[in-house]
Amino acid sequence: MTIPLDATLTTALGVAFHMAAGERLAAGGSAEAVAGAPSGARSLLSSPYYRWGMAYNAAVGMGIAVSAYALQPDWMWMYWLDASRLPIWTVLYVFLLYPAMFTFGFLLAHEAKKLRPGGGAALLTGLLALLLCFIVVTWGRIWNVGTISEWDVGACTPLIGAGFATLPLTWVLSIGFVVAIVSLVWLFKKFARGLE
C-alpha cells in the first residue's frame, strides 16, 4: 500500500498478531515469560508471538513497502508531496515507524482485551473499517501510478490495466501480496498449534 495507509495497516497487523496468539499471552505478559521476569509490556514484547510478528512485519510488510518506494516514491506518498524533495533521513525515519506502529498495535490489543471481552476484535474491526474508508476516499491516488508531475497533468498509469505487464510496481505488489497472505496464513496456523 502507500505510506499514509501503512500506519493504520501496520497497527492492525500488530493487533492481529496479538489476537492470533489467543490466550497464550496471559494478562500480565507472555505465557512463556521466565519466572521472576517483569510483567506487562516488556514480557509481551519478549514473547515469541511478538517476535514472529515483528519478523513478518520487517521481512514482508516493510519488504513490500521499501520495494514499492524504490520504484514509485511519489505514489507511495499518494502525490501529497514530492518525494524527491525529502532528505534521506526523513525517509529512513518514516520506515522506522513500521516497527513502531506494529509494536503499538500489539500492545494496544493487549490493553483492549483487558478492558472487555472482545476488545481486541472490536479494535481490529475498527482499524480495518478506518483503512477501508480511507482507501475508498483516496482510490484515485492509489489506483494511478506515476510521479507527482504525471499526477498533476493526469498522465499516471493505472495499477492494473493496459500497463500491467510494463509496470514493475504491479508485479512487486502482486507477488508481494501473495507472499504476504500465504505466509500470514502459515504463521497463524503455527500460532493455533502453539509455539511450544
Q: How confident is the model at residue 192 (pLDDT cuts 50, 70, 90)?
A: confident
Contact between 168 and 146 under an 8 Å Cβ cutoff? The reply is no
CA dist list (Å): 185 to 24, 77, 178? 18, 29, 11
Tens digits of residue pLDDT in 29-74: 444 443 443 455 668 898 999 999 999 999 999 999 999 999 999 9
Digit-coded pLDDT (tens) for 139-159: 999 999 999 999 999 999 998
Q: Average per-residue pLDDT in the chain?
A: 88
Long-range contacts of 138-141 (CB under 8 A, 24+ apart): 138/4, 138/78, 141/2, 141/78, 141/79
Helix, strand, or coil here: 79? coil
